[in-house]
Amino acid sequence: MSAPSPADFVPSEDNLDPADWEAFRAIGHRMFDDMVDFMAGIRERPVWQPMPVDKRAELKAPSLPHEAGSLNDTYDAFQRLVAPHIAGNIHPRFLGWVQGGGNPVGVLAEMLAATLNGNLGGRDHAPIEVERQVIKWSAEMVGFPETTTGVLVTGTSVANLIALLVARTQALGIDVRKDGLAGHKLVAYTSPATHNCVLRAMDMAGLGTQALRLIPYDARHQIRLDLLTEAIATDRAAGLQPFMVIGTAGAVDTGAVDDLAALARLCKQEGLWFHVDAAFGALAMLSPAQRPLLDGISEADSIAFDFHKWAQVPYDAGCVLVRDGEKHAAAFSTHVNYLKRETRGLAAGHPWPTDFGPDLSRGFRALKVWMTLQVYGADKLGQVVANCCDLAQQLAARVAAEPELELLAPVALNVACFRFKASNKPLDALNTDIVIALQESGIAVPSTTNVNGQLAIRAAFVNHRTRAEDIDILIDAILETGRRLG
Ligand SMILES: *Cc1c(COP(=O)(O)O)cnc(C)c1O
């Protein structure tokens, strides 16, 4: 419960700072105390609860607020209307999609970063050195060499797009940046386990989604090397230009990891760019038990991954790494007068982050990553990864032991796909209804996916707060709901 409201915020007459910094301090302390309670009590809250119609209506303003308002009232609206109706991914029983749980050190880092209000597009200042350090640590994590460059972005969707543009520029030569793609015959390869953002990257890069060949996977959901080799030969014979293979390390549906070492060898033989979408899987490099699954990732030309998933950094923080930094800059660096580089002064520090991606202005995302890594240490994050994978195995064992449930895909990493089967009703619709009922109950949030044509209840273990007891709560709720609806 909050302490009584402090005196309201009053801005200075001539700028946006408070007229009274001590009053501002009191308001801030109260907010911080409330957020500590919120984090500490998260397990006791519903995972998710739909936002009621009246609250949605209350949040809708009739027009742009022109007059000054009250900070205390605005904060009250945040507490009543916003905070109770979050998606719930900080909760230990949020198991839907693949979402990170955030962490308290990251919360503090967000406040520090906002205070400095850094713009990390370029120039010579310490926040960029922090980002460079994060990129260096990331390269070390995946076994990339000193030549590696990288940049923090919103997420793996953008990181994949950046990697694709680097690979495209390598394949067609730097003139593609001026001439465009006219008449290109580029084709790329991945498996149907790929994330939709890879298709979107093909679309946004102008290559078209049809130029992405979806090579079937085997029973373990790993791309079939024999069919991949065949497809490359067929495309070459047809006069097309194969240029890139996208391996998946942690498929979004099942957690499957491609045979990355074999893909790396094949790409070397065929002269193709080897990119790995390791959105959450990359963090498995920090866990000795899971690391062998990613053998070969250090041979890639580029890797995309997220800090906001398994590394528990608050949203948003994704990363792209390119093994050969010169190739990375070749795809993005430009020279314009107002961004001229110097060897001294604030315009020093070449190359700048803007040379490695589409953004110019960028926030100080790196601080929350840097602080999370410094304070918890990579080994502890690796333990979170190992624990999540253990939980997925425990869930699979519990599913196998329950006659009313069945497992729909092997558990490779941290994702389990299963369904309630003890009903004569159509199972796809029934399992969809079970998941929705569970979400609405606030007890647990799994999501759904389709595995080999069957609707699956999907539980992804990503959150550092999840424990073994949460699996029992989830399964008991699924059995109870299945029996009731089935
Ligand atoms: C989450 C995910 C993405 C997309 O990443 P964003 O951070 O949401 O942009 C891409 N690929 C895989 C395998 C993912 O799990």
Residue 170 sits in a domain of what CATH number? 3.40.640.10
12 and 24 both lie in a single domain: yes
Q: Identify the domain boundary among 376, 398, 429.
A: 376
- Tell whether 28 is covered by a domain: yes
**Ligand 1 atom at shortest distance from the alpha carbon of 278:** 13
Question: Which protein residue has the closest C-alpha to ligand 1 atom 7?
Answer: 155
Q: How far does residue 30's CA lie from ligand 1's centre (Å)?
A: 35
Shortest-distance atom of ligand 1 to CA 280: 15
Q: Quote the pLDDT of residue 2.
A: 52
> How far is the centre of ligand 1, averaged over its atoms, from the C-alpha of 486 (Å)?
33
Residue 154 forms part of a structural domain: yes
Asked if residue 58 and residue 39 are part of one domain, the reply reads yes
Q: CATH number of the domain at 426, please.
A: 3.90.1150.10
Same domain, 175 and 288: yes
Residues 135 and 235 in one domain: yes
| Residue 91 covered by a domain | no
Whether 74 and 144 share a structural domain: no
User: Ligand 1 pocket: which of 99, 191, 252 to mutate (most atoms <8 Å of CB)?
Assistant: 252
Q: What is the pLDDT of residue 368?
A: 98
Number of domains in the chain: 3
| Interval between CA 416 and ligand 1 midpoint (Å) | 17
Shared-domain flag, residues 291 and 391: no
Domain's final residue, options 376, 409, 431: 376
Atom in ligand 1 nearest the alpha carbon of residue 157: 9
Q: What is the mean pLDDT of each run of 10 residues along the chain (486 residues)?
A: 77 97 96 98 97 96 94 97 97 97 98 98 97 98 98 98 98 96 94 97 97 97 98 98 98 94 98 98 98 98 98 98 98 90 94 97 98 98 98 98 96 96 97 98 97 96 98 98 97
Whether 96 is covered by a domain: the verdict is: no
**CB 306 near ligand 1, within 6 Å:** yes
Q: Are residues 451 and 347 in the same domain?
A: no
Q: In a mutational test of the pocket of ligand 1, which residue from 156, 194, 199, 280 has the highest number of ligand atoms less than 8 Å from its CB?
A: 156
Instruction: Note whether 347 and 203 are same-domain residues.
Output: yes
3-state secondary structure the chain: CCCCCCCCCCECCCCCCECCHHHHHHHHHHHHHHHHHHHHCHHHCCCCCCCCHHHHHHHCCCCCCCCCCCHHHHHHHHHHHHHHHCCCCCCCCECCCCCCCCCHHHHHHHHHHHHHCCCCCCCCCHHHHHHHHHHHHHHHHHCCCCCCEEEEECCHHHHHHHHHHHHHHHHHCCCHHHHCCCCCCEEEEECCCCCHHHHHHHHHCCCCHHHEEECCECCCCCECHHHHHHHHHHHHHCCCEEEEEEEEECCCCCCCECCHHHHHHHHHHHCCEEEEECCCHHHHHHCCCCHHHHCCHHHCCEEEEECCCCCCCCCCCEEEEECCHHHHHHCCCCCCHHHCCCCCCCCCCCCCHHHHCCCCCCCCHHHHHHHHHHHHCHHHHHHHHHHHHHHHHHHHHHHHHCCCEEECCCCCCCEEEEEECCCCCCHHHHHHHHHHHHHHHCCCECEEEEECCEEEEEEECCCCCCCHHHHHHHHHHHHHHHHHHC
With a 6 Å cutoff on the Cβ, whether 255 touches ligand 1 is: no
Whose alpha carbon is nearest atom 5 of ligand 1?
A: 156
Q: Is 448 in the pocket of ligand 1 (CB under 6 A)?
A: no
Domain that holds residue 406: 379-485
280 in contact with ligand 1, CB cutoff 6 A: yes
355 lines ligand 1 (CB under 6 A): no
Q: Is the same domain home to 466 and 390?
A: yes
Q: Is residue 185 part of a domain?
A: yes
pLDDT at 244: 98
What's the pTM value of the predicted model, to 2 decimals? 0.97
318 Cβ closer than 6 Å to some ligand 1 atom: yes
- Residue 101 within any structural domain of the chain: no
Domain termination residue (choose one: 54, 86, 118): 86
Give me the pLDDT at residue 182, please: 84
Residue 100 is assigned to a structural domain of this protein: no
Pocket lining: 313 vs ligand 1, CB cutoff 6 Å: no
Q: Could you tell me the distance, in angstroms and rounded to a whole number, from the CA of residue 209 to the centre of ligand 1?
A: 18
150 and 79 part of one domain: no
Looking from the CA of residue 251, the nearest atom of ligand 1 is 13
